[in-house]
Homo-oligomer: A and B are copies of this chain.
Amino acid sequence: MYLSKCIRFCLQQTARTVSKESPLWKRYSTAAVQPKIDTSFVGALKTIVGDANVSTADAIREQHGHDESHHAVAMPDVVVFAESVDHVSKVSKLCNDTKVPLIPFGSGTGLEGGVNALQGGVCLDVTKMDQIVQVNAEDFDCTVQPGVMRLGLNNYLRDTGLWFPIDPGADASVCGMCATSASGTNAVKYGTMRENVLNLQVVLPDGRVIDTAGRGRRTKKTSAGYNLTNLFLGSEGTLGTITEATVRLYGIPEKTISAVCHFNEVSEAVDTVVQILQCGIPMAKLEFLDDSAIDCFNRFCKYDMTVAHSLFLEFHGPAYGLEDQFQSVKELIEMNNGFGLKQASDADERNRLWKARHEMVWACTARIPGSKPYSTDVCVPITNLPEIITKTKQMVVEADVIGPMVGHVGDGNFHIFFPCDHSDTETFKKIKDISHKMAVMAMELNGTCTGEHGIGIGKRDLLVAEVGEETLGAMKQIKETFDPNNIMNPGKVFF
């Protein structure tokens, strides 16, 4: 109750209602940067990275002015393609000296408008830096540049018997996944980016290049000084540009069992999840898709999966023991009236199953042509999952909007991917309202408004409500320390 009051109070106080005259605005907002993008500035950029690596073409700027979310395109004034850390360092210094906004750009697969250039400025595309710097197969680690994508890395690693398991669905860049502290379907077993990064090379706004754990460090643990690695993880490009990441790898599991089952009631599916976790069964994936999500997928991919609330399950491990784990889960499913349990017998069938999960964002938006995904991303302690999922489902049904629900319920995290068309203002209002209520409900249930997508543009007010004014103040102190001119991705995370 206390929590609830606090959250509601904070939300009332924050940006939804405050004017620029309010002391709250002054406390949390950072004054808008006045870009000075003229011919001489563009010339200076060209001197650093070469003519071919600078573009002011509309098409290129448009392409770099948005991610995969519904947020309106906000184009940078100029796009720069960096080919080296030295490029990144010099461009950063130039922007800092001239107080021009700088927005690092990787794969552009974010879902919170993290790359939209709200105040114009320079978009720094780092995808040309695409080398896998080293793979230490016997130590289970590798180092990659920011243009290396998750799937590309895993293709490269195949012969080593290793893989990088963090899987947010999209083929994001590994360094971009660092920037948003991504996770995804395998986090139940392998953790999120937070647990899997050993070192980051970061270019600070003033051009300094640091290695968060020290150059070349790649130990599983360390107590040497402040944990800068985890500070830059999830900082959404607001503190610096990540130019290299050393991440943990894992052995490809000896055996994998994938399965799907269905439920008539949402609560039965969620109760099953809670019980599986409480029994300590070491799942690799534990995903929920409601009937609406399955329906979207069937339409999108011309499949014929049973349209019902479903759990997608996966077990990784040595061959011994895995079948026993599966049997234990089977018992729990039956106890909760689950039906149609079907095991994927080979890799093809398994891939088909997970395709349904991974294409969900596009399957959802395909329901309304021209729409973009408006994604919610709440996460709660697992015992609070049944309540929030049931209430959310009810809100979606009552509002009569298309709102398929999918979730990494093994982590207490789930999404609704609303297909969103801004021109349909009535539906947009309904979506926004449900999204806001979900976030408030999550916070009241000891949860968070963002389990893995980040704050970006749309959740800045929720962040204040979630962490409180004092904690937000401490975060802002860090921002101001490293980026006193507020050039790094201005308008993200904080107002």
Q: Which residues of A contact B (CB under 8 A)?
A: 3, 6, 136, 138-141, 180-183, 187, 191-192, 194-195, 204, 208-228, 230-231, 233-235, 239, 250-251, 254, 274, 277-278, 280-281, 317-318, 320-321, 324-325, 377, 379-383, 411-413, 443, 446-455, 459, 462-463, 466-468, 470-475, 477-482, 493
A222 adjacent to B482 (CB under 8 Å): no
Candidates B223, B448, B493; contact of A180 at CB < 8 Å: B223
Residue numbers in B under 8 Å from A475 (CB-CB):
225-226, 228
A412 adjacent to B219 (CB under 8 Å): yes
Most buried by B among A6, A195, A225, A459: A225
Least CB separation from A112: chain B residue: B223
Nearest CB in chain B: distance from A278 CB, A: 6
Candidates B183, B214, B448; contact of A217 at CB < 8 Å: B448
Least CB separation from A327: chain B residue: B320
- Lowest 7 A-B CB distances belong to which pairs? A321-B321, A230-B230, A214-B467, A139-B381, A251-B280, A222-B448, A320-B324
Least CB separation from A238: chain B residue: B226
A455 adjacent to B195 (CB under 8 Å): no
Nearest CB in chain B: distance from A341 CB, A: 20
Residue numbers in B under 8 Å from A221 (CB-CB):
183, 187, 192, 194, 379, 411, 413, 451-452
Candidates B208, B222, B383, B471; contact of A470 at CB < 8 Å: B208
A219 adjacent to B466 (CB under 8 Å): no
Candidates B219, B254, B321; contact of A380 at CB < 8 Å: B219
B447 adjacent to A217 (CB under 8 Å): yes
Residue numbers in B under 8 Å from A443 (CB-CB):
214
Most buried by B among A224, A281, A448: A224
B139 adjacent to A466 (CB under 8 Å): no
A450-B180 Cα distance, complex, nearest whole Å: 28
